[in-house]
Amino acid sequence: MAPRDVVNDLARLTGTGENEAWATTLYSLEGILYERIRITNASRWILPLGIYHRTRRRGGQQWCAICLSTDRQAYYRKNWRLAIVSTCSKHGIVLADRCIDCGSPAVPHQGLDPCCHVCGSDRRSYPHVIADSKALQLEHNFREILAGRAHPPEACSNIYPLAFFNLVRQILSIVTANPRAQRLRETVCRHNGGDPSEPTFEGIISAPEFLSSSERHRMMAIVAQLLDGWPCASENPLCVIHGAHPSGGGGRTGGTESCHRFIVLRAALERPGDIPSFVQRRTDAQPQHAIDLPARRLAALRPDHNRAWRSRREGSLPQ
Q: Which residues bind Zn ion (CB under 5 A)?
A: 64, 66-67, 88, 90-91, 99, 101-102, 104, 116, 118-119, 121
Q: How far is the CB of 93 from Zn ion (least distance, A)?
A: 7
For residue 6, what are the β-bridge partners?
Answer: none
**CA dist list (Å): 124 to 66, 69, 80, 113, 128:** 6, 5, 15, 10, 10
DSSP assignment of 64-125, as one string? -HHHHHH-SS----GGGGBTT--EETTTTEEPB-S-TTT-PPP-TTSSSTTB-TTT--BGGG
Separation between Cα atoms, residue 204 and residue 210, nearest integer Å:
9
- Between residues 62 and 225, which has the closer beta carbon with respect to Zn ion? 62
Q: Yes or no: say if 283 and 305 are a contact pair by the CB < 8 Å rule.
A: no
Whole-number Å distance between alpha carbons of 202 and 196: 18
Task: Provide the minimum distance between the beta carbon of 192 and Zn ion in the complex, in angstroms, as a whole number.
Answer: 25
Q: Phi first, then psi: what are they for 12, rounded to 5°?
A: -65, -45
Q: How far is CA 279 from CA 78, 269, 270, 305, in A?
A: 25, 14, 15, 10
Instruction: Choose between 116 and 145: whose C-beta lies nearer to Zn ion.
Output: 116
Q: Work out how close the CB of 100 gets to Zn ion at its nearest, in angstroms, rounded to a whole number.
A: 8
- Least distance to Zn ion, CB of residue 126, Å: 11
- Measured from the CB atom, the residue of 202 and 257 that comes closer to Zn ion is 202
Beta carbon of residue 121, minimum distance to Zn ion (angstroms, whole number): 4
Tell me how far apart the alpha carbons of residues 120 and 208 are, in angstroms, rounded to a whole number. 29
Q: How far is the CB of 114 from Zn ion (least distance, A)?
A: 12
CB of 120 to Zn ion, least distance (A): 7
Least Å distance, CB 77 to Zn ion, is 9
Please say which residue, 122 or 202, places its beta carbon nearer to Zn ion.
122
Q: Which is nearer to Zn ion, 121 or 214 (CB)?
A: 121
Between residues 94 and 162, which has the closer beta carbon with respect to Zn ion?
94
Q: Which is nearer to Zn ion, 90 or 271 (CB)?
A: 90
CB < 8 Å & 24+ apart, contacts of 19-22? 19/316, 20/316
Please give the Cα distance from 165 to 160 (Å, whole number): 9
Cα-trace Rg, the chain = 20
| Cα 230 from Cα 8, distance rounded (Å) | 41
Nearer to Zn ion, 92 or 272 (CB): 92
